[in-house]
């Protein structure tokens, strides 16, 4: 039966061309939007995880309450012992300390007088340890625009846009003005050895990246850090695991009322990411539902038109003694075949365009020139296993639903009038 119906579909393109085109377009849009949303939301979560939140983050309770102010006077102490303990309890995770700080960058001229100044946001990470993963995690080498990577203490990287604003070239010296952990003034000299561009407006506006040991000396934070970030093996965020880890860690120290006691936050607890992550799941299901409904209406009308064209065919089959149920079932089987054909075509087209956008990306940097949020400027689709089958749900279901509604007319045919219709 399937072979017979397939021959009919292929040999009579007038009957199947329009439904296949409609299904293909709908499936194409479903696959493309699915990969686009997955890529956009995934890039947002990944960028926040790499640069700010980690998969989980440990801070003091007081620091967590005022984290937007970068209160290093409330930072974690005894960080080396804390990380050793975390590595023992959670050996499958990578734990790394970071310090965030702010201050003024002063660029001297040949006579040592101020040539240019500008406010900067500092990020101190492990740049010089032989086994550090921070360089790869932040893609610092791939983000270099000019110069080279820091190789010794006292060397720094700054964002390329900030360097151009200060008319600063790699190899020149700068002085950082800020405050230490204990509130006193801090002056520390760095040599800028390279400039970077991360593709995030918030990071590229005015960032200086230094080794964490330099920051500890400049800010009087020996064996201290503002935050300790934890990353799951493989670099992929697992929300359920992160929430369970956070709950277990905080429950263990929950009885300690000390404001300097460590507190763990999951990625979803930071930067208002919880709502966005929940929104992702709802949107994916909503798009499938919308396309199933919309295409079902279109295909219902298409099926009605096709039914009028095949009115005589159904009459002859009924006159020859074929049961109405058998005709109806063959119509539904035909709808499934057309839905599968359209779904395959639409899925291949959607995956093809998604692969191109995933490789090259679309630059939206000009649309968000002044945002302070941790957002990428180049967005890409993300092809996952779901993209290979998600289009078949609206493709097959909508075609099946449309023909099921249109085929109800078969049961309204009166056998007594068949020969009169055929004579006409």
Residue with tokens 């009166």: 414
Please say if the pLDDT value at position 9 is more than 90: no
Does residue 370 carry a pLDDT above 80? no
Residue 168 shares a structural domain with residue 284: no
**Distance between CA atoms of residues 335 and 396, nearest Å:** 8
Q: Say how many domains are in the chain.
A: 2
pLDDT classification of 254: cutoffs 50, 70, 90: low
Q: Is 139 helix (H, G, I), strand (E, B) or coil?
A: coil
Going by pLDDT thresholds of 50, 70 and 90, the confidence category of residue 304 is low
DSSP label at 309?
H
Tell me: pLDDT of 362 over 90: no
Residue 128 has pLDDT above 70, yes or no: yes
Structural domain boundaries, residue 14? 2-47+275-423
Determine the Cα–Cα distance for residues 349 and 82; give it in Å rounded to an integer. 51
Residue 260 lies in a domain: no
Confidence of residue 348 (pLDDT cuts 50, 70, 90): very high
What is the spatial distance between Cα 314 and Cα 216, in angstroms, rounded to a whole number?
84
Model confidence at 307: pLDDT above 60:
no
The whole-number pLDDT of residue 21 equals: 85
pLDDT for the residue 33: 83
Domain annotation covers residue 66: yes
Strand ranges in 207-261 using DSSP code E only, listed in sequence order: 207-211, 224-225, 227-232
Same domain, 334 and 386: yes
Residue 165 sits in the same domain as residue 228: yes
Distances (CA, A) of 399 to 27, 287, 291, 297: 11, 17, 11, 9
Per residue in 74-85, pLDDT tens? Answer: 999 999 999 999
In a domain, 244, yes or no: no
Residue pair 246/266 in contact by the 8 Å Cβ criterion: yes
Q: Note whether 406 and 64 are within 8 A (CB).
A: no
Mean pLDDT of 278-304: 70
Whether residue 203 sits in one domain with residue 186: yes
| Burial state string for 66-88 with b = 16 or more CB within 10 A and e = fewer than 16 | ebeebbbebbbeebeebbeebee
**Contact, 229 vs 264, CB < 8 A?**
no
In a 10 Å sphere around its CB, with 0-12 CB exposed, 13-18 middle and 19+ buried, how is residue 286 labelled?
A: exposed
What secondary structure does DSSP assign to 359-405, as a single string?
HH-EE-GGG-TT--S--BSEE-----GGGGTTTHHHHHHHHHHHHHH
Domain limit, last residue, from 236, 266, 284: 236
What are the backbone angles phi and psi of residue 118, rounded to the nearest 5°? -170, 145
Among 144-148, 338-342, 384-388, which range has the highest average pLDDT?
A: 144-148
Q: Are residues 39 and 187 in the same domain?
A: no
CB pairs under 8 A, 24+ apart, for 128-132? 128/152, 128/153, 128/211, 128/213, 132/96
CB 212 within 8 A of CB 221: no
Place of tokens 């040949």: 110
Output the six-digit token pair for 119.
């406010």
Identify the DSSP state of 113: S
**d(C-alpha 329, C-alpha 339), whole Å:** 15
Residue of 99, 84, 246 lying closest to 178 (CA atoms): 99
Maximum pairwise Cα distance, the chain: 108
Rounded CA separation 162/367 (Å): 20
Same domain, 86 and 167: yes
Residues 356-378 have a mean pLDDT of: 66
Distance CA 32, CA 411 (A): 39
Mean per-residue pLDDT for 253-279? 79
pLDDT reported for residue 413 = 60
- The pLDDT score that the predictor gives to residue 355 is 93
Which has more confidence, 424 or 105? Answer: 105
Q: Hey, which of 10-19, 37-46, 52-61, 263-272 has the most confident mean pLDDT? A: 52-61
Which pLDDT band, with edges at 50, 70 and 90, does 372 fall under?
A: very low
- Average pLDDT, integer, range 23-47: 83
Assigned domain for 267 exists: no
Higher pLDDT, 314 or 338: 338
Q: How far apart are the first and last CA of the chain?
A: 31
Of 206, 236, 266, the one marking the end of a domain is: 236
Whether residue 377 contacts residue 368, with contact meaning beta carbons closer than 8 Å, is answered with yes
Residues 311 and 379 in one domain: yes
Q: Which residue has the tokens 């949107």?
A: 283
Query: Does residue 255 belong to any structural domain of this protein?
Result: no
Q: What does the pLDDT read at residue 256? A: 59
Q: Is residue 161 part of a domain?
A: yes
Question: Which letter does DSSP use for residue 238 in this model?
Answer: -
Q: Higher confidence at residue 80 or residue 296?
A: 80
User: What whole-number distance in Å separates Cα of residue 93 and Cα of residue 228?
Assistant: 12
Among 208-217, 329-338, 374-383, which stretch is predicted with the lowest mean pLDDT? 374-383
pLDDT for 46 beyond 60: yes
User: What ranges make up the beta strands (E) of 198-293?
Assistant: 207-211, 224-225, 227-232, 262-266
Q: Which among 180, 152, 157, 183 has a CA at the least distance from the CA of 168?
A: 157
128/31 same-domain check: no
Using one digit for the tens of pLDDT, what is the confidence trace for 152-181? Answer: 999 999 999 999 999 999 999 999 999 999
Q: Which of 236, 263, 296 corresponds to the end of one domain?
A: 236
Do 282 and 398 have their domain in common? yes
**Do 283 and 320 lie in a common domain?**
yes
Residues 227 and 189 in one domain: yes
Average model confidence (pLDDT) for the chain?
82
Same domain assignment for residues 199 and 339 = no
Indicate the SS3 state at residue 20. helix
Q: How many residues are present in the chain?
A: 424
Report the C-alpha gap between 267 and 203 in whole angstroms. Answer: 19
Q: 134-146: per-residue pLDDT in tens?
A: 999 988 998 899 9
Q: What backbone phi and psi angles, to 5 degrees, belong to 205?
A: -70, -45
The answer to whether residue 212 is domain-embedded is: yes
Q: Report how far Cα 24 is from the mean position of its chain's Cα atoms.
A: 26
145 occurs within a structural domain: yes
Q: What is the pLDDT of residues 237-249, one digit of tens each?
A: 888 899 999 998 9
How far is the C-alpha of 413 from the C-alpha of 324, rounded, in Å?
9
């Amino acid at each position: 039966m399937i072979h017979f119906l397939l021959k009919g579909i292929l040999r009579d393109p007038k009957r199947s061309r329009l439904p296949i085109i409609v299904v293909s377009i709908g499936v194409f849009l479903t696959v493309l939007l699915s990969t686009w949303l997955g890529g956009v939301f995934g890039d947002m979560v990944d960028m926040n995880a790499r640069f700010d939140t980690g998969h989980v983050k440990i801070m003091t309770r007081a620091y967590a309450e005022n984290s937007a102010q970068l209160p290093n006077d409330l930072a974690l102490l005894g960080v080396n012992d804390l990380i050793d303990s975390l590595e023992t309890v959670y050996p499958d995770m990578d734990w790394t300390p970071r310090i965030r700080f702010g201050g003024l960058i002063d660029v001297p001229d040949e006579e040592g007088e101020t040539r240019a100044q500008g406010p900067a946001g500092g990020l101190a990470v492990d740049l010089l340890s032989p086994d550090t993963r921070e360089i790869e995690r932040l893609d610092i080498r791939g983000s270099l625009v000019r110069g080279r990577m820091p190789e010794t203490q006292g060397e720094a990287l700054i964002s390329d846009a900030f360097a151009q604003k200060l008319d600063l070239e790699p190899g020149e010296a700068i002085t950082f003005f800020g405050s230490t952990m204990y509130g006193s003034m801090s002056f520390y000299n760095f040599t800028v050895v390279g400039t970077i561009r991360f593709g995030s407006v918030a990071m590229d506006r005015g960032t200086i990246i230094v080794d964490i040991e330099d920051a500890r000396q400049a800010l009087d934070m020996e064996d201290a850090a503002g935050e300790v970030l934890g990353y799951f093996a493989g670099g992929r965020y697992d929300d359920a695991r992160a929430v369970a880890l956070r709950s277990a860690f905080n429950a263990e120290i929950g009885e300690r009322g000390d404001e300097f006691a460590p507190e763990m936050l999951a990625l979803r607890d930071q930067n208002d990411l919880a709502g966005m992550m929940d929104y992702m799941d709802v949107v994916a299901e909503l798009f499938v539902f919308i396309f199933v409904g919309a295409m079902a209406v279109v295909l219902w009308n298409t099926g009605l038109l096709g039914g009028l064209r095949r009115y005589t065919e159904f009459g002859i089959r009924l006159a020859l003694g074929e049961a109405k149920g058998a005709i109806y079932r063959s119509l539904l089987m035909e709808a499934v075949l057309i839905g599968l054909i359209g779904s395959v075509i639409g899925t291949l087209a959607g995956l093809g365009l998604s692969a191109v956008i995933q490789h090259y990306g679309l630059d939206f940097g000009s649309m968000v020139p002044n945002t302070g949020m941790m957002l990428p400027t180049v967005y890409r689709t993300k092809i996952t296993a779901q993209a290979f089958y998600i289009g078949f749900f609206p493709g097959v279901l909508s075609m099946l639903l449309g023909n099921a509604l249109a085929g109800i007319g078969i049961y309204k045919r009166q056998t007594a009038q068949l020969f009169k219709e055929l004579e006409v």
